[in-house]
Chains A and B, each alone.
Chain A
């Protein structure tokens, strides 16, 4: 017994020594070094970016072919040194103090790396800290970048001020081996979560609606509509949701890098009245593919995209003709006025005739001041997340012109733009890391509407994105967390859906 006690004591002392050494030592900045006149290779690329004053630590990994790295952060709050390995994990408390003291100013980052026995100092870069905070929460769908198959689909929220992530829906809680369930299109009213919705398809299908904290599951497919609701947009104040209804198909490129085309062969717009549980048609022109509704912040205008497409060959299926002519399908940006009292819409008006210019616009979102409409634009089609040429652009309703947001785009697909509640942070997904996995990126939009270099959503593990094999889909800003739990949603999912009625 005595022996065991002695061995245990020695082990504890040794362990505490190891822990103490690893936790307390601050690496020293090398005094002798060569100066490299270039920026260091770091992932994610956080060089010279503008960050919110409440963001989680911007951890990164130095990719200079060595583990011996020292990083010095200099801010009005003082100097902080990290390193001795290539993963730079910033202490959360120290980071907060740096951000707090640096609002409207810069945090200088100097990186030293020992390569082949010689220390090098790379060109310093800055984190510019914006005075405007970012919405505290975002939510997204986590999905493997598959084409048709799916298995685990997660709706998760992330606290942007920390690394905390919480699942609020996971289809594995309800689906069985034989009966899979697809989950998509989470959406909120005005950045708040008292009113939110998402869809479930196939097994236990229906639209999950949260209305002032109460969950209900509805079936929006009626005899008069193409499908259940697809792309949603909550009215900013009223208990109404505009949806597209779509008939969607996929086909696959034998050689093209895009690999897949997703096309709508039919597409209309409907309005769902949550209280009455009824839908009406907004637009259903048979020669138009209307999709992606989004409300202006005042709730008096509905923006949407529409492609003029006339089927010409009756002898083949619509799907076949669409596959043959898929590059002809180009969406432009339109709007309709909305009478909040009568729930009636005005005639459609062209906002941006993208099709005439050889482009196709999708997924519009309006800035909180109503001036800018952000959207994803590519050469053709409605599913730009698979189109490498797709970029995020904005339409300035005041100047009546399109703004090319070069600072946020890459030579790979960008899609799903969304703007924070204060209008200063543009979030979107991009495949720029590797061409295959969509990652959330955030860009600061200054008061003149100009974007700054976008940065990848920070993660605790700087190598997270390399090893994470899921895509981030449809990122949405929220000012508060989702209040319902995964179990509550799962229980509601197992219930039968209430059938919506058609007409007033």
Chain B
């Protein structure tokens, strides 16, 4: 039996699509649905249809299936196959040429994967499915036209039909495509892909998985992480009780995300509420969840954060409002019911991991303040400025002041630390920083009598000498940084000398 070529083409198309979608980009697809919303109810339907039309509403409905990336992918691939099948029917192509429809719709998978960092900023509800729905409608239009003119059977008409189909489909090609061309970011940008994984892990309190995504300082390629990755990494270290010991074993030189278009990524949209919530600034987490929802639509992601914040703040009525909405979704019912149970039984909430961790991060008293949309700087400032001898503030204050290179604040934290821990060994990173800053005029604390470890004194002398010599030879700082990385990458001096400015965005 001879296998038809059309089946082989279809099989190749299916395999390529599955590799591109759930195999390579499951985190991306999951994020797409989490930044979208479909609610089973009259009010949501009326509002969405009124604002975005039925196609937007259907797009939202279908997007939710990316909750299971394989399921959502199967649905969208099936729709693409239907489109190709219709186009094949319309074009009446010979078996050998039945690959043409797959070429015709090449842009649909590209559209789906072209969001990159736009995934956080997209304002079109149901976007992942909208081009596909349009393509399906247009291919059905082609089919109807074909049926209406089925009696005309000459070669010119066939060619005309082919041109007509291709040009009709090309109508939807420009749809938002000029805006989103981050295909390369989605597929290849390591930081982007790490961020997606880290975000999901933070959301689920899987701290070791967060750390697994954070690049260690001695990484060979020496591609810096983004500022968000640094913040997530430090959060994971905090929640695994290793912040002070290991913060500088990882690369802290946070950069701004790389994009391939003019998109300026803002941390407050990307993960502001998540960072604020886990760093204990619950009001600000709530505020930014609302602000982001206003700009970029309410999503499962924002509603979940609003529920968490409202429960933590014991604002149960508004928590129940958001829970009611999430209970009317397809895939977040169970999550919502668990939160509802915590409202009904406060013991469950008090015993929850969220409460245990966040309640100890509460500073004393209320302040009237403004973060000026600069989330990571505000968090670091918040802890760097805070003097407390209790855990975890002590560790957070020290690491924040070191990251911000606030010499005076660090030395005060250092002084308080050695007063409170006179019996314990002083962590390496603190000794490195204090040995270096202490003798300078920036220090409000005299460290001349502090018994620094001999190996730290020697290491600093060597580092200093190497830097001095190379610098005197006219070597650029970036080259010196690379050369000294293997030996000194996890020292505070390396961070201080070669990363003079944190990138806030």
How many angstroms between the C-alpha atoms of A227 and B42 in the bound complex?
42
Q: A301 CB to closest chain B CB, in angstroms?
A: 36
CB–CB B43/A467 < 8 A: yes
Which of B65-73, B165-173, B241-249, B290-298 interfaces with chain A? B290-298
Verify if A20 is at the interface (C-beta below 8 Å from B). Answer: no
Residues of B within 8 A of A260 (CB): 287
Which A residues, 418 to 445, have Cβ-Cβ distances below 8 Å to chain B? 433-437
Is A144 touching B39 in the complex (CB atoms < 8 A)?
Answer: no
Residue among B291, B298, B321 making CB contact with A147, cutoff 8 Å = B291
A10 within 8 A of B: no
Given contacts A434-B317, A434-B320, whether A149 and B295 have CB atoms under 8 Å apart is yes
Q: Pick the contact of B369: A144, A251, A434, A436 (CB < 8 A).
A: A251
Of all chain A residues, the one with the shortest Cβ separation from B320 is A434
Tell which of B41, B313, B368 touches A323, judged by Cβ atoms closer than 8 Å: B368
24 of the cross-chain contacts (CB-CB < 8 Å) are: A144-B293, A144-B294, A145-B290, A148-B291, A149-B291, A252-B283, A252-B287, A254-B284, A254-B369, A257-B313, A257-B315, A259-B287, A260-B287, A261-B368, A433-B321, A435-B315, A435-B318, A437-B318, A461-B43, A464-B43, A466-B325, A467-B42, A467-B324, A468-B47
Which residues of B are in contact with A by a Cβ distance under 8 Å?
Answer: 39, 41-44, 47, 51, 281, 283-284, 286-287, 290-295, 298, 313, 315, 317-318, 320-321, 324-325, 328, 362-363, 365-371
Chain A hits for B47, CB < 8 A: 468
Q: A147-B290, A436-B315 are in contact. List 14 more A-B contacts (CB 8 A).
A: A151-B294, A251-B369, A252-B370, A253-B283, A253-B366, A254-B369, A256-B366, A259-B283, A260-B287, A433-B317, A433-B321, A434-B320, A436-B321, A461-B42
Report chain A residues within 8 Å CB of B315: 257, 434-436
CB-CB < 8 A to A467: which residues of B?
A: 39, 41-44, 324-325, 328
Say if the beta carbon of A3 comes within 8 Å of chain B.
no
Question: Would you give the shortest CB distance from A158 to chain B, in whole angstroms?
Answer: 15
B50 to A, closest residue via Cβ: A167
Chain A residues with Cβ below 8 Å from B371 are 252
CB distance from A422 to the nearest CB of B (A): 32
Establish whether residues A251 and B368, one from each chain, have CB atoms under 8 Å apart when the complex forms.
yes
Residues on B with C-beta less than 8 A from A254 are 281, 283-284, 363, 366-369
Contact digits for A232-266, partner B, Cβ 8 Å, 1 yes 0 no: 00000000000000000011111111011100000
Closest B residue to A323 by CB, please name it.
B368
Pair B287/A469 contact, Cβ less than 8 Å = no
Name the CB-closest residue of B to A326. B368
With a cutoff of 8 Å between Cβ atoms, the chain B residues found around residue A256 in the complex are 283, 366
CA gap between A259 and B371 in the complex, in Å: 13
Given that A146-B294, A255-B366 are contacting pairs, would A437 and B283 also be in contact in the complex, using a CB cutoff of 8 Å?
Answer: no
- A463 contacts B by Cβ under 8 Å: yes
Shortest distance in angstroms between B2's beta carbon and chain A's nearest beta carbon? 36
Report the Cα distance A326→B41, complex, angstroms: 43
Instruction: Let me know if A436 and B318 touch, CB within 8 A.
Output: yes
CB distance from B494 to the nearest CB of A (A): 34
In the bound assembly, the distance between CA atoms of A352 and B313 in angstroms comes to 36
Chain B residue at smallest Cβ distance from A145? B290
Which residues from chain B contact A433 at a C-beta distance below 8 Å? 317, 321
Q: Which residues of A contact B (CB under 8 A)?
A: 144-152, 250-257, 259-261, 323, 326, 433-437, 461, 463-464, 466-469
**Closest A residue by C-beta to B315:** A435
The answer to whether A253 touches B367 (Cβ under 8 A) is yes
Most buried by B among A147, A151, A254, A256: A254
Chain A residues lying within 8 Å of B294, measured Cβ to Cβ, are: 144, 146, 149-151
Return B269 CB to nearest CB of chain A, in Å.
Answer: 10
Contact of A259 (CB < 8 Å), options: B51, B286, B363, B365: B286
Contact across chains for B365 and A144 when beta carbons are under 8 A apart: no
User: B370 and A434: CB pair below 8 A?
Assistant: no
Q: In this complex, what residue of A is CB-closest to B291?
A: A149
Chain B residues, Cβ within 8 Å of A250? 370
B287 adjacent to A147 (CB under 8 Å): yes
Most buried by B among A149, A259, A261: A149
Residue of A nearest to B325 (CB): A467
Q: How far is the CA of A252 from the CA of B41 in the complex (A)?
A: 34
Q: Which residue on B lies nearest to A467, using beta carbons?
A: B43
Interface centre among B41, B43, B292, B320 (most CB of A within 10 A): B43
Question: Which chain B residues border A463 with CB–CB below 8 Å?
Answer: 41-43
Chain B residue with Cβ nearest A466: B324
B283–A255 CB distance below 8 A: yes
Report the Cα distance A156→B284, complex, angstroms: 31
Return chain A residues, CB-CB under 8 Å to B324: 466-467
CA distance A437 to B291 in the complex (A): 14
The 8 Å CB contact of B317, one of A146, A253, A435, is A435
Look across to chain B and name the residue whose beta carbon is closest to the beta carbon of A261.
Answer: B368
Contact (A144, B284) CB under 8 Å given A461-B43, A464-B43: no
Closest to B382 in A: A254
Could you tell me the distance between the alpha carbons of A466 and B42 in the complex, rounded to whole angstroms?
A: 11
Pair A146/B367 contact, Cβ less than 8 Å: no
Can you name the residue of chain A whose Cβ is closest to the Cβ of B45?
A467
A149 to B291, CA, bound (A): 5
CB distance B291 to A252 under 8 Å?
Answer: no
For B317, the chain A residues whose CB sits under 8 A away are: 433-435
Contacts of B313 in A (CB 8 A): 257
Q: Inside 8 A of B283's CB, which chain A residues have their CB?
A: 252-256, 259
Q: Could you say which residues of chain A place their CB within 8 Å of the CB of B369?
A: 251-252, 254
Which residue of chain B has its CB nearest to the CB of A180?
Answer: B295
Contacts of B362 in A (CB 8 A): 255
Q: Whole-angstrom distance between the alpha carbons of A250 and B287 in the complex? A: 13
What's the Cα separation between A386 and B286 when bound, in Å? 15
Query: In the bound complex, do residue A146 and residue B370 qualify as a contact, i.e. CB atoms below 8 Å apart?
Result: no
A435 to chain B, nearest CB (A): 5
Q: Which residues of B contact A148 (CB under 8 A)?
A: 291
Tell me the complex Cα distance, A437–B325, Å: 15
Give the CA-CA distance A144 to B92 in the complex, in Å.
52
Q: How far is the CA of A144 from the CA of B51 in the complex (A)?
A: 15
- The residue that A151 contacts in the complex, of B295, B320, B367, B368, with Cβ under 8 A, is B295
Tell me the bound Cα distance from A253 to B315 in angstroms.
15
A253 to B284, CA, bound (A): 8
Nearest A residue to B179, CB-CB: A177
Measured in the bound complex, the distance between the Cα atoms of B268 and A149 in whole Å is 12
Q: Which residues of B contact A150 (CB under 8 A)?
A: 294
Chain B: minimal CB distance from A148 (Å) = 6
Q: Which residue of A lies closest to B366 (CB)?
A: A255
Q: Which residues of A contact B43 (CB under 8 A)?
A: 461, 463-464, 467-468
Q: Beyond A466-B324, A466-B325, is A144–B290 a contact (Cβ under 8 Å)?
A: yes
Q: Quote the shortest CB–CB distance from B311 to chain A (angstroms).
A: 13
Kindly provide the distance from the CB of B74 to the nearest chain A CB, expressed in whole angstroms. 30
CA distance A260 to B369 in the complex (A): 9
| Bound Cα distance from A85 to B240, whole angstroms | 50
A380 vs chain B, min Cβ distance (A): 12
Which of B41, B320, B368 is A253 in contact with, Cβ under 8 Å? B368
What CA separation (Å) do A257 and B310 show in the bound complex? Answer: 10
A341 to chain B, nearest CB (A): 47
Q: In the bound complex, what is the Cα–Cα distance between A435 and B318 (angstroms)?
A: 6
Residues of chain A lying within 8 A (CB to CB) of residue B286: 259
CB-based contact B298/A469 at 8 Å: yes
Q: Give min CB distance, B348 to chain A, whole Å.
A: 20
Report the bound CA distance from A437 to B47 in whole Å: 17
Q: Chain B residue with minimal CB distance to A259?
A: B283
Residues of A within 8 A of B293 (CB): 144, 146, 469
- Rounded to whole angstroms, the CA-CA distance of A239 and B366 in the bound complex is 47
Given A252-B370, A253-B367, A435-B317, A146–B291 Cβ distance below 8 Å? Answer: yes
**Least CB distance, B409 to chain A, in whole angstroms:** 19
Cα A155 to Cα B372 in complex, Å, equals 29
B391 to chain A, nearest CB (A): 21
For B298, the chain A residues whose CB sits under 8 A away are 469
The residue on B at minimum CB distance from A433 is B317
Q: Closest CB-CB distance, B375 to chain A, in whole Å? A: 13
Chain B residues with CB under 8 A of A255: 283, 362, 365-367
